[in-house]
Structure 1
Amino acid sequence: MLLMEILDGMDPHQLRTFVTVARLASFSDAARELGYTQSAVSQQIAALEGDVGAALLERRPVRATAAGERLLEHAGPLLLRLDAARADVRRLAGATGGRVVLGAAGVTVTARVAGALAAVRERYPRAEVTITQVARAEVAARVATGAVDVGLVDGVAAPSDPLALGDAGPLRTVAVAEEPLAVLMPVGHPLARRAGLALADLADARWLDAPDVAMELDRLRAAAGAGAGFRAAARYEGGEVRGLLALVAAGHGLALVPLPAAGGDGIAAVPLRTPRLVHRTELVHGALPEGPVALLVETLTGR
């Protein structure tokens, strides 16, 4: 059966219920999360299975069938685009009011960002300003669905190349900064006195896996053209740069960060020379009716 035939007339509420049941592997837990009765959840799943003409869930234990797994592959992007469409219309109608919710990934909250937020508060003193940390991979989706009004995402890229953010709806991205990269290591490390380093030469080193405050190890493998290497000696799930610096200084592993963010007691920051990469920061936003969010974007991008 063709995908469009399956999706024709599909009830998004039933689809969302199916995704929740599959994720939680429980009809009762899904009912509690969604605010339905368990019988209502069962009825929605049965109706969805009737629409697509296939069993989507095994009941004991609860798990997706082969047909259900295939539908799950499409359900996430479909529901995301539905939520994104709703949020986009709300933005155009000015329904977000006077709030500014900035979703920031990595080390993107800089003095420049703080200054732009100050300009917003000066023009709109009653604006409710919130800065929240968002995982890099979730920034575009959070902006698209209106969970945050504007996002800042960073990553490794060739100079002037945009970051790969995926398709989350009609969003716009604008580069707001490109900075050189540096490898962080303890001051006593054998490479600490080098003038520059090649990424490929560090594939077998001990690395810190710190996806929220340093460059992700899978991106380092891709940048170095390495199918292996860049193994994590330790994982840091915190969002504070000072925590990362303390771990590096103590010898738990290397980390690749933007050069302006490098530095600290016991830390050496050696510039990355090859390949030619930069730390790129992009602003992600949707429609911009007049108001504090539009001013924030204008201030950061110089529009």
Structure 2
Amino acid sequence: MDPHLLRTFTVVARLRSFSAAAVELGYTQSAVSQHVAALEADLGARLLDRRPVAPTVAGERLLTYAGPILLRLAAARTDLARLAAPRPGRLRVGATPLAVPAAATLAAGEAAAGLVLRVTARNELVRQVATDDLDLGLLDGFTAPNDPLPVTDLGPTEVSVHGQEPAVVTLPRTHPLAGRSALALADLADARWIDAPDVAAPLPQLRAATGTDGFRSAVRYDGTEVAGLLAAVAAGHGLAVLPAGTVRAHAELVGVDVREPRLVHRVELIRPAGSAGDRRIGATGA
């Protein structure tokens, strides 16, 4: 399977347009069509319907493999480039929104040498470390106490736990359940929830953890500012699962422990093995 053809297919599938894919990739529309046709011939399956443009069942299945394959190839190219010519200069540290304080503490001694601190979405952080847009990444997420965060396998990449705290259901103090010491998530499946995938526990994850079909979004929060999400919860727009520490200082909110299933909020440090980030920061905070 030619990775160039696979990349073209993924762009067409994402944009739902051969012409738009040609513009993004810098190819002619004819070349894009030829790439997709060649990939279909190689795999012996039709991957895209043409009118309208949309992945077929086989195309949808291929897309589940395509992202990790292309990312792994990019990571391999980047890793070899690092070996050939290590990059000097500023240390570039990325963090997901809830991991920003940890990133600032981790890189506290780097200001004199030069530091770039970048806030990025959860689904972008690993890719940016893998492709050398970042030297180090601090990824936050929610998981069972003894389980790692799900991170795409990128080859020689080191992942270590930087910090962990309990996850809590965040409620207004006036909520009928605010006085509970702990709550079972499944009991809240039909409550109003705020969908805040870059800050709170993602709702699909809560559905999977409880085996229920609930946790439907009443409000979508596309921001990365924790204060904005807390304000939305306090105003009664819905509930959210957040780290206990983010809720304690908010006078209008209560964080109730998640009893079943148990969830924790974890921050993990991601870095390429043997990278400049290892030498400059070492194992601090890991």
User: Do both proteins adopt the same fold according to a TM-score greater than 0.5, normalized to the shorter chain?
Assistant: yes
Structure index of larger Rg: 1
Identity of aligned residues (%): 53
Alignment partner of 1:132 out of 110, 119, 144: 119
Among 70, 76, 83, the alignment partner of 1:79 is: 70
Quote the residue 1:232 is aligned against.
Answer: 217
Superposed CA deviations along residues 161-180 of structure 1, whole A, max 9, x for unmatched, are 21222334332210011112
Q: How far apart are the structure 1 equivalents of 2:107 and 2:142?
A: 25
3-state SS of the aligned residue for 1:283? strand
Q: Residues 55, 194 of structure 1: CA spacing in aligned structure 2 closer, same or farther, 3 A cutoff?
A: closer
Q: 1:186 is matched with which residue: 143, 157, 172? A: 172
Trace 1:182-261 onto structure 2 (pairs within 5 A): 182-223=168-209, 225-261=210-246
- The farther-off stretch of 20-29 and 229-238 is 20-29
**How far 1:144 sits from its partner (Å)?**
2.0
1:142 aligns with 2:142: no
Identify the match of residue 176 of structure 1 among 148, 159, 162.
Answer: 162
Change (3 A) 1:269 1:31: same
Name the SS for the 2:200 alignment partner: coil
Aligned counterparts of 1:43 and 1:276: Cα–Cα separation in 2: 50
The verdict on how the C-alpha distance between 1:156 and 1:73 changes in structure 2, with shifts beyond 3 A counting, is: closer
User: Quick one: structure 1 residues 37 and 162, their matched pair in 2 at CA, closer, same or farther if it must change by over 3 Å?
Assistant: same
Equivalent of residue 270 in structure 2, options 269, 284, 289: 284
Alignment CA distance shift 1:52-1:297 (3 Å): same
Counterparts of 1:23-62 in structure 2, within 5 Å, are 23-49=14-40, 51-52=42-43, 56-62=47-53
Partner Cα separation in structure 1 for residue 49 and residue 201 of structure 2: 40
Q: 1:87 to 1:196 in 2, by over 3 A?
A: same
Helix, strand or coil for the counterpart of 1:175? strand
Q: Does the CA-based 8 Å contact 1:91-1:287 persist in structure 2?
A: no
Superposed displacement of residue 65, structure 1: 5.3
Mapped contact 1:90–1:96 kept (Cα < 8 A): no
Q: Distance in 2 between matches of 1:48 and 1:206?
A: 45
C-alpha distance in 1 between matches for 2:58 and 2:206: 36
CA 1:221–1:24 in structure 2 vs 1: closer, same or farther (change >3 Å)?
closer
- Following superposition, the deviation at residue 54 of structure 1 comes to 5.8
TM-score after normalising by structure 2: 0.86
- Show the counterpart of 1:4: none
Measure, in 2, the Cα distance between the counterparts of 1:270 and 1:203. 15
Given the alignment of the two structures, is residue 97 of structure 1 paired with residue 88 of structure 2, yes or no?
A: yes
Q: Using structure 1 for the length normalisation, give the TM-score.
A: 0.81
Structure 1 counterpart SS, 2:139: strand
Separation of aligned partners in 2, 1:228 and 1:57: 30
Change (3 A) 1:71 1:268: closer
2-structure distance, mates of 1:199, 1:69: 31
Q: Which residue of 1 aligns with 2:7?
A: 16
Matched to 1:253, the amino acid is G
Change (3 A) 1:41 1:158: closer
The one-letter amino acid of 1:154's match is D
Q: 1:118 to 1:34 in 2, by over 3 A?
A: same
**1:109-136 residue CA offsets vs partner (Å, 9 max, x unmatched):** 12x43122221224xx2x341312222x
Residue 193 of structure 2 contacts residue 217 of structure 2 at CA under 8 Å; is this kept in 1? yes
Q: Which moved more, 1:21-30 or 1:252-261?
A: 21-30
1:117 matched residue in structure 2: 107
- Structure 1's 40 and 176: CA in aligned 2 closer, same or farther, altered over 3 A? same
Partner of 1:3: none
Q: Any stretches of 5+ residues in structure 2 without a counterpart?
A: none
User: How far apart, CA to CA, are the structure 2 residues paired with 1:272 and 1:67?
Assistant: 39
Deviates more, 1:47-56 or 1:257-266: 47-56
Q: Tell me how far apart the structure 2 counterparts of residues 292 and 172 of structure 1 sit (CA, whole Å).
A: 11
Moved over 6 A (4+): none
Contact 1:120 1:292 in 2 (8 A): no
CA distance in 2, matches of 1:196, 1:70: 40
